[in-house]
Amino acid sequence: MGSTELKKIDINKVRSDFPILKREVNGKPLVYLDNGATTQKPKQVIDAIIHYYEEMNSNVHRGVHYLSQISTDAFEVTRRKVKEFINAEHEHEVIITKGTTESINIIASCYGRAFIGKDDEIIISAMEHHSNIVPWQMLCDEKGCKLRIIPMTAEGDLDVETYKTLFSERTKLVSFTYVSNALGTINPVKEMIAIAHQHEVPVLLDGAQAVQHLKVDVQELNVDFFAFSGHKMYGPTGVGVLYGKENFLNNMPPYQGGGDMIKEVTLEKTTYNELPFKFEAGTPNIEAGIALANAIDYINELGLEAIKRHEDELLAYAIQELSKVKSIRFIGTAKEKSSVISFLIDGTHPYDIGVILDKLGIAVRTGHHCAQPVMDQFGIPGTVRASLAVYNTKEDVDVLVAGLNRAADMLL
């Protein structure tokens, strides 16, 4: 066994790294179970942001003075760490963006502009977050192309056999999520990517709910584009990543025009910069970009295998204990799941459950989770979603179960 397999999460040490977990909400200790929306930040990440503003604040990639140079160096450290974290072949295949949403929009805009035309087809799935639906609908409205949808089973799995039948000579791109934000389903992404490549169709993978839970190797997956956000992996908001294979990125037009994405500008013509800067117009969210490296370090220090084992044990315990709650109904019961439990208490509205839990200091998400087509398939307006992270405990689950029993007693 490798040393990473032998690691065990020291939950008390981990929890001590997150200052916000010490606070109270409505006079109760905070139980934070909304990690699918955003994770809390360890002190190492918070300190990196403070350090940037106190010691380094300057624009990047443009100055010869000392502060600009050290800021640029720190920003580029993040790119190198992202490359290693997802095992990209080249640093310049790592584009720093605002987050998963912008990363997907870059592909919809730039790849779509260059390679997708009238009556062409894009395959997405029925379980996508709105950020992996709406950009393609906008492209279809603009270009006259069409969406084809991978259906979903009643358990919340993608129907891979039907997926195989969706390809045609008009298929230009496949885009789907690694892990469902609404159901927690882990999709068979390697198999699905291979199927697309049999038809010589590139694949964009939404990894927003994956990189904080699962080891991702973009070369092993052979995925063409991969998108994720910093704020869901213990990093800052407003920063994320678009990975793309070099040949695709080189052949795509830029997303935005402005500073840093140019090589030479005259009033008649502009020559674009090389990768990765071609897709990084304007001043980035510098402090967030720098602090993302600290979030990656934090995950690496704990070890993704140890994180996954801790979260899998917690997920199994949570499903076991929640099953005892009166009138509970789980939404999404796929065999392969990651850290998300969506449910209803029959006879109640998710919003009412969420409000009562909040009064008890318990933070969950209620609603459609930016996945309205998923809710439509199940014939419901939304769910209560409890999503887990490395700092959550069985005690958190016990508090949630007690809170749900109390809510059920009040509302039923």
- Which residues are annotated as catalytic? 370
How does 189-210 read in b/e, with b if 16+ C-beta sit within 10 Å? beebbebbeeeebbbbbbbbbb
CA distance 67 to 277: 20
- Listed in sequence order, the residues at least 6 apart from 355 whose beta carbon sits closer than 8 Å to its beta carbon are none
Report the relative pairing of strands 171-177 and 365-367 from DSSP bridges.
unpaired
- Listed in sequence order, the residues at least 6 apart from 94 whose beta carbon sits closer than 8 Å to its beta carbon are 79, 82, 83, 88, 241, 242, 243, 276
Question: Radius of gyration (Cα) for the chain, nearest Å?
Answer: 22
Q: Residue 11 CA to chain centroid, in angstroms?
A: 24
- Exposed (0-12), middle (13-18) or buried (19+): which is 132, by Cβ within 10 Å? buried
CB 382 within 8 A of CB 332: no
CA distance 247 to 226: 14
| Length of the chain (residues) | 412
Q: Shortest CA distance to 200 belongs to which of 167, 160, 230, 225?
A: 167
User: What is the rounded end-to-end Cα distance, in angstroms, of the chain?
Assistant: 51
